[in-house]
Amino acid sequence: MHHASAPDITVIIAVYNAMPYLTECLDSALGQSLGAERLEIIAVDDGSTDGSGAELDAYAARHPQVRVLHQPNSGGPGGPRNRALDLARGRYVFFLDADDYLGPQALERLLDMAETQDSDLVLAKQVGLGRTVSEKAHRHAEEVDLYTSEVYRSLHSAKLMRRQVVEDAQLRYPEDLWYGEDQVFVTGMFLAAGKISVVGDYDCYFLRRRDDGQNITARSRTAAETVAHIERVMALVAERVQDPVGRRRMLGRHFRSLLRTALRPAVEARHDDPGFTAEVYDRARALVQTYWRPDMGGELPRIDWIRLYAFACGPLAAFEQLMEYEPADGPAPQEIVDDGRVYRCYPLFRDPAAGLPDVLFDVTDLLKTHHRLSSLTWKAGRVRLTGHAYIQSLGTGGTGSELLLRARETGDEHLVPVKPLPAPELTELDPKLIMAGFLAELDLATVADGAPIPPGTWDCFLNVRADGVTRTVRLGRRHAPELDRTARRAKVLARDPGGATEIAAAPFFTTYGNLSFEVVRRIPLPTA
């Protein structure tokens, strides 16, 4: 709904020496399909010396929606953004960097999502122009959970925010930070927002790496500037987030950042600037000691978990060697199987000088189990299942897979041997998968130690084994397109001696597409 007394959105642009990109930025804001009359644009010139101030004044003279303020250079975008926030009148605010630009329908789509869903915060799908953006964070969703979704991967300011929430939470950018200041502000907004949505089905925001290399993030940093924003945002999360999953996931995201944006440059500078390296190491070690918990390891890529452990607990030389290792630059690390566990042989695996525990290299639970149900038929009173299954990177060596039936009500289990079959459709993918096919013939009348399976709902799993490693998967959701998943008539498994009741079973597919069997004791039905 359009309010004549106040704009729908205030677009805030902090400007410092942004020519010639500033022109495209302003044109993209004024050319929004939402209509310029529903916007106000507050641009704060932070002491530019390249003509950006004059360009802003020229736009303001032609467009009444544009308001320009000039101030001496403050050293970072936080101050200019705060000054604009103090003057904003829009029901929502959107932060647009002066060297980036918007897709033509961006603000209309963001506002429609916010108003339709009553959202306080709406993420805008980003497109990187020479810069990396998170695809996982920008998956389209009417509502997401901060703790279990991937939205917290995106801490850039380019989001639509309900201004009343910003004011009620007293959110402002830290003006003593010029690097990472947006992470502190946006984290505060994430925690204050009652509902979060994502416009991920339209290219909303184009994030540019400037050809002249003058993005503010490219500026050289002191050790304090390198780590300070991580220290501040970790403290904010630790103070405000009590949910254990949320705390783990949010702090884990910042430990990833600590490794990549602080410890990596410190390692690279250790010979030329040992003082910088020592200070970053000291401050990073304090963060690990204060906030790291054992359950956070899963929030990091495995190599980063190993690196962080080596940094905190191992010889410093081992950590620095691991930081210099780039998995993408060479062949994939070898994997070995030992006592039913799979270990990825990153550098220093079982190196006595490094002393890193095996569990850091254990990737058993990370290996994907690929499986598909191809057919389900009744044959001579038996259920006949075919398909394929294998564990990623292990092939089908030493297989001994089996079908597992588990009673949903009691947890009772029955196992049925599975016969391996050739899988020629997979051989081209990997010759090791030649015997990844399976055939299971399930006699429900005798599966329970020669007796019929008891009444109840029995869910169907597959124990997939290779080289002594076992992974259990739910069977059915991944299936051949031609698999008939329609309801089937129940088959009689057994009758009481007097014929008063009988046990019957019918396969069915659950709401999630998984295979189960419904077994009932019933009064015999008349035959057709």
Residue 510 lies in a domain: yes
Based on the number of CB atoms within 10 Å of its own CB, is 112 exposed (0-12), middle (13-18) or buried (19 or more)? middle
The DSSP string of 143-196 is EE-TTTSSGGG---S-EEEEHHHHHHTT----TT-SSSHHHHHHHHHHHH-S-E
Residue 227: strand, helix, or coil: helix
Distance in angstroms (rounded) separating the CA atoms of residues 395 and 334? 14
Shared domain for 356 and 374, answered yes or no, is: no
Shared domain for 58 and 207, answered yes or no, is: yes
List of residues 6+ apart from 67 with CB closer than 8 A = 40, 41, 42, 43, 60, 87
Nearest in space to 232 (alpha carbons), one of 274, 185, 197 = 185
Contact 105, 142 (CB under 8 A): no
Shared domain for 85 and 185, answered yes or no, is: yes
Q: Look at residue 459 in the predicted model and tell me its pLDDT.
A: 97
Residue 40 lies in a domain: yes
Residue 139: strand, helix, or coil: coil
Shared domain for 356 and 389, answered yes or no, is: no
Residue 307: strand, helix, or coil: helix
Nearest in space to 260 (alpha carbons), one of 317, 308, 331, 328 = 308
Domain boundary among 308, 332, 366: 366
Give, for all 528 residues of the chain, the pLDDT tens digit: 344 578 999 999 999 999 999 999 999 999 999 998 999 999 999 999 999 999 999 999 999 999 999 999 999 999 999 999 999 999 999 999 999 999 999 999 999 999 999 999 999 999 999 998 999 999 999 999 999 999 999 999 999 999 999 999 999 999 999 999 999 999 999 999 999 999 999 999 999 988 765 656 667 899 999 999 999 999 999 999 999 999 999 999 999 999 999 999 999 999 999 999 999 999 999 999 999 998 999 999 999 999 999 999 999 999 999 999 998 888 889 999 998 899 999 999 999 999 999 999 999 988 899 999 999 998 877 999 999 999 888 865 555 689 999 999 999 999 999 999 988 888 777 887 888 899 999 999 999 899 999 999 999 999 998 888 888 999 999 999 999 888 788 888 888 887 789 999 999 999 999 999 999 999 987 765
Question: What tokens appear for 202 in the block?
Answer: 């339209």
Cα 243 to chain centroid distance, Å, stands at 18
Helices (runs of H) and strands (runs of E) counted in the chain: 13, 24
Residue 3 lies in a domain: no
Residue 527 lies in a domain: no
Distance in angstroms (rounded) separating the CA atoms of residues 339 and 360? 16
How large is the angle between the packed helices 302-313 and 244-257, nearest 10 degrees? 80
Q: Look at residue 500 in the predicted model and tell me its pLDDT.
A: 87
Question: What tokens appear for 145 in the block?
Answer: 């959970």
Shared domain for 265 and 170, answered yes or no, is: no
Residue 528 lies in a domain: no
* DSSP code of residue 448: B
Phi, psi of 217 (to 5 degrees): -70, -15
Domain boundary among 216, 234, 265: 216
Residue 1 lies in a domain: no
Position 206: which residue type? F
pTM of the model: 0.83
List of residues 6+ apart from 492 with CB closer than 8 A = 502, 503, 504, 524
> Residue-wise over 339-367: b if at least 16 C-beta within 10 A, else e?
eebbbbebbbbeeeebebeeebbebbeeb
Instruction: Classify strands 456-466 and 9-15 as parallel, antiparallel or unpaired.
Output: unpaired
Q: Where are the alpha helices (DSSP H) in 181-315?
A: 181-192, 223-240, 244-257, 264-268, 274-291, 302-313
Question: What tokens appear for 344 in the block?
Answer: 């990825």
Contact 442, 403 (CB under 8 A): yes
Shared domain for 238 and 357, answered yes or no, is: yes
Q: Look at residue 201 in the predicted model and tell me its pLDDT.
A: 97
Domain boundary among 338, 366, 394: 366
Sheet holding 419-421, edge to edge: 369-379, 382-391, 437-442, 419-421
Question: What tokens appear for 354 in the block?
Answer: 């490094």
Nearest in space to 66 (alpha carbons), one of 25, 105, 100, 101 = 25
Q: Look at residue 379 in the predicted model and tell me its pLDDT.
A: 80
Residue 43 lies in a domain: yes
Q: In CATH, what number is assigned to the domain containing residue 171? A: 3.90.550.10
Residue 391 lies in a domain: yes
**Domain count along the chain:** 3
Element (H, E) at 231: helix 223-240
Distance in angstroms (rounded) separating the CA atoms of residues 3 and 92? 12
Contact 183, 153 (CB under 8 A): no
Which domain covers residue 480, as residue numbers? 369-522
Shared domain for 513 and 388, answered yes or no, is: yes
Q: Look at residue 487 in the predicted model and tell me its pLDDT.
A: 76
Nearest in space to 373 (alpha carbons), one of 387, 353, 390 = 387
Q: In CATH, what number is assigned to the domain containing residue 465? A: 2.60.40.10
Based on the number of CB atoms within 10 Å of its own CB, is 130 exposed (0-12), middle (13-18) or buried (19 or more)? exposed
Q: Look at residue 396 in the predicted model and tell me its pLDDT.
A: 56
The alpha carbons of the chain give a radius of gyration, in whole angstroms, of 30
Shared domain for 165 and 65, answered yes or no, is: yes
Q: How many CA atoms lie within 13 A of 296 on its CB side?
A: 21
Shared domain for 197 and 227, answered yes or no, is: no
Contact 391, 369 (CB under 8 A): yes
Shared domain for 337 and 461, answered yes or no, is: no
Contact 22, 52 (CB under 8 A): yes
Distance in angstroms (rounded) separating the CA atoms of residues 440 and 67? 72
Start-to-end CA distance of the chain, whole Å, equals 63
Shared domain for 233 and 343, answered yes or no, is: yes
Shared domain for 76 and 158, answered yes or no, is: yes
Nearest in space to 234 (alpha carbons), one of 249, 250, 245 = 250
